[in-house]
Amino acid sequence: MTPDAADFAAVRLTLELATVVTLLLLAIGTPIAWWLARTRSRLRHAVGAVVALPLVLPPTVIGFYLLLLLGPNGPVGKLTEALGIGLLPFSFGGLVLASVCYSLPFVVQPLQNAFEAIGTRPLEVAATLRASPWDTFWSVAVPLARPGFLSGAVLGFAHTVGEFGVVLMIGGNIPDKTRVVSVQIYDHVEALEYAQAHWLAGGMLAFSFIVLLALYTLYPQAMKGRR
Amino acid sequence: MKQLAGLLALIACHAAQANEVQVAVAANFTAPMQKIAAEFEKDTGHKAVLAFGATGKFYAQIANGAPFEVLLAADDETPAKLEAEHRTVPGTRFTYATGKLVLWSAKDGYVDGQGNVLKTGDYAHLAIANPKTAPYGAAAVETLHKLGLYDRVQGKLVQGENIAQTHQFVSTGNAPLGFVALSQVYRDGRFTSGSGWIVPANLHGPIRQDAVILAKGGANPAAKALEGYLKSNKAREIIRSYGYAL
């Protein structure tokens, strides 16, 4: 058996999801990482720990709490309903939100390490040349932290493609809307359709390997930034 | 010397009597099986070591050498398939419980006694278990077809990967109602919470849950004892109290 239309729909949906999530993660993760790298606030340890939570929590825990938070009795669910957005679970928007939470550390940590690696000196030099903090950030910090952005984006994208437990719980397995590749593979395996499962699973393995290989080969320094 | 021999004989005898048996149990049967295993140990001295999970996953694990000795499946197909592949002890397959499907909501009074809410209710989502992999999901789809409602509700269906996740969707209110296993929401003759409609058995094929002794358990007397115990009146009473038919 070769992949069918449902398999390709799952692949397309997964790539869409990973793209949206990666862009959002760069937008949200950059200020968080910058703050974590620069601040002396006592709060930084707590914020750092919250960001890292998805690394250690099992996806079922994250998925279950998201389901409670976003549900009609949860605070976020009440908010989205009041705003007229409706409830987020079982929608693409819900998947995006869940994936952003779940993949956050994979973007924030490489960025934070890259920002920390710059040190204070280049920024002080920029300040003596009368560059504004905003200008310094864009003209000095961002170019110097490029390997961090690259590894953060790649890891965030790849991790979103590979996530399973959370999307399964928040998504509700709806064709074209929330049924991503990892869920489709799970379905095939559970239904003992091993041939179709191999197509997708093998493809995912190859994709992940190639992405990581490219990253390590082209930008070996990108990965050194990670602890 | 005689005493020592006697002691050894006693130990050997004890070891022969009290064995451990590794049991793979379908997730929907978790609660009743925990109760049955406790009684089983009390009555026979044998210890049933339980692993809970999805039947399809158990199949893959058993086919790849997992050390399970008894399987309590969520369907009748998986044990039959394992038997055809010579991975079981022939002639040990039997139906230990028949599942009942229920349309359930976490809200009191939301689901009426006839299930009319399916037609009249204004709900955004109707949760079912994945019909491809979960027998309760297949039974739910069959029921919707029989009622002539499938096309109307198709766009509202959300699927849990298994019946436990489907129950979570409904119990957290993210889906206002859904088809779950009666055993999840029922104890001793009434719903433990919320409201429900027990789907009449003529609306879907029977959800037969079969058990079988696996090849690895062939030489284990505890496996044989558990098979017998599941058929005992005591076990059947526990099974029935959780809303299964027999």
pLDDT above 70 covers a percentage of chain A that reads: 96
DSSP letters of B144-187? HHHTT-HHHHGGGEEEESSHHHHHHHHHTTSSSEEEEEHHHHEE
Please, which pLDDT band fits residue A2 given cuts at 50, 70 and 90? Answer: confident
The pLDDT of A78-92, averaged and rounded, is: 90
Indicate the Cα dihedral angle A99, B131, B81, B41, nearest 10°.
Answer: 80
Q: How much is the mean pLDDT over chain B?
A: 90
Please, which pLDDT band fits residue A85 given cuts at 50, 70 and 90? Answer: confident
B115 has a chain A CB within 8 A of its CB:
no
B168 has a chain A CB within 8 A of its CB:
yes
Best mean pLDDT range from A49-63, A136-150, B33-47, B109-123: B33-47
pLDDT at A227 over 50: no
CA distance B72 to B68: 11
Copy the structure tokens of residue B71.
């399987």
The residue of chain A with its CA nearest to that of B166 is A172
Domain boundaries, chain A: 5-56+99-165+177-224
Q: Which residues of A touch B168 (CB under 8 A)?
A: 64, 67, 169
Interface contact B56-A190, CB threshold 8 A: yes
Order of strands across the sheet with B195-198?
B157-160, B126-129, B177-181, B101-105, B195-198
B175 has a chain A CB within 8 A of its CB:
yes
Residue A133, Ramachandran bin (φ over 0: left; ψ between -120 and 50: alpha; else beta): alpha
CA distance B123 to B126: 7
A56 has a chain B CB within 8 A of its CB:
no
Q: What residue ranges define each of the domains in chain B, with the CATH number in brackets?
A: 2-98+207-241 (3.40.190.10), 101-198 (3.40.190.10)
CA A1 to chain centre: 32
Please report the pLDDT score of residue B169 as a whole number. 95
ipTM for the whole predicted complex goes beyond 0.95? no
* DSSP H stretches of helix in chain A: 5-38, 43-56, 59-70, 75-82, 92-118, 121-128, 133-136, 142-144, 146-162, 165-171, 181-190, 194-218, 220-224
Q: Tell me which CATH homologous superfamily contains domain A5-56+99-165+177-224.
A: MetI-like (1.10.3720.10)
Residue A95, min C-alpha distance to chain B (Å): 14
DSSP state of B214: B
B158 has a chain A CB within 8 A of its CB:
yes
Please report the pLDDT score of residue A192 as a whole number. 74
Q: Which residues of A touch B173 (CB under 8 A)?
A: 71-73
pLDDT above 70 covers a percentage of chain B that reads: 93
CA distance A70 to A73: 8
From chain B residues 42-101, the ones with a CB under 8 A of any chain A CB are: 54, 56-57, 59-60
> What are the phi and psi torsion angles at B68 (to 5°)?
-75, 145
Copy the structure tokens of residue B228.
């017998």
When scoring A70, A173, A177, A185 by the number of chain B Cβ atoms within 10 A, the one with the most, hence best to mutate, is A173
- Residues B70-98 have pLDDT tens digits of 999 999 999 999 999 999 999 999 999 99
Contacts 24+ apart (CB under 8 A), A88-91: A88/A170, A89/A170, A89/A171, A89/A172, A89/B169, A89/B174, A90/A170, A90/A171, A90/A172, A90/A174, A90/A177, A90/A178, A90/B125, A90/B158, A90/B174, A90/B175, A91/A177, A91/A178
Please report the pLDDT score of residue A223 as a whole number. 56
Please report the pLDDT score of residue A131 as a whole number. 85
Please report the pLDDT score of residue A161 as a whole number. 93
Please report the pLDDT score of residue B146 as a whole number. 96
Please report the pLDDT score of residue A225 as a whole number. 47
Residue A88, min C-alpha distance to chain B (Å): 9
pLDDT at A175 over 60: yes
- Residues B122-166 have pLDDT tens digits of 899 999 999 988 889 999 999 999 999 999 999 999 999 888 899
- Residues A96-145 have pLDDT tens digits of 999 999 999 999 999 999 999 998 888 888 888 888 888 888 888 999 99
- Residues A15-53 have pLDDT tens digits of 999 999 999 999 999 999 999 999 989 999 999 999 999
Closest CA to B186 of B31, B40, B38, B53: B31
DSSP state of B216: G
